[in-house]
Amino acid sequence: MLPSGVLTWFRRSSVIVLASVVSAGAAAGQSKQGIQPQKLAPYVSSPQPIVVKMLEIAGLKSGETLFDLGCGDGRIVATAAKEFGAKAVGVELSPALARRAREAVESLGLQQQVKIIEGDMMAVDLSGADVVALYLLTEANEQLRPKLERELKPGARVVSLEFRIKGWKPARVEKVEAHRHPYTIYLYQWPQK
């Protein structure tokens, strides 16, 4: 359970903005992979009980490294560090959300365990990830899939809230509820079997 100050901060942080997956240098109109910039996922905060359940389903352990792609306000990386003893890297394109995530990490004193990268998730090296957390649309997961296949190390897990990774078979699918809303959590293992 998170301290009440953390929960209060997260409750105040419910904002909806649009995030897009483009590199900081995409002024020329394309990301590093040649994909036209487009809005792929709205930012919608994950309820805290769902965050905890995602990390439990992923089997996140103390000392492991979690990457949250599209980390929003930082609640998943903060929870991974504070409650699970993991190291965490949050990647967020939106400067405002990246700033909020950094502020959350600093307010919790987690700067040694958590790093927030403001930038394109497609440009971040995922080879050090034990767990990758996603709350992206199916289309975004589809664009991200080749990168995951290239960079994930054997034994890595991917936990995705609500949206499948097309072409991958989940090792586990769990339906959970928070705030009277049903959620589906998909767990994938790499390599796929």
pLDDT per residue as tens digits for the range 111-168: 999 999 999 999 999 999 999 999 999 999 999 999 999 999 999 999 999 999 999 9
The amino acid at 164: R
Q: What is the mean pLDDT of the chain?
A: 84
User: pLDDT-derived band of residue 106, with 50, 70 and 90 as boundaries?
Assistant: very high
Decide: helix, strand or coil at residue 15.
Answer: coil
Strands 87-92 and 172-178, how do they pair?
unpaired
Q: Give the residue from 159, 153, 134 showing the smallest Cα distance to 191.
A: 153
Domain boundaries, the chain: 4-189
pTM above 0.85, yes or no: no
CATH of domain 4-189: 3.40.50.150
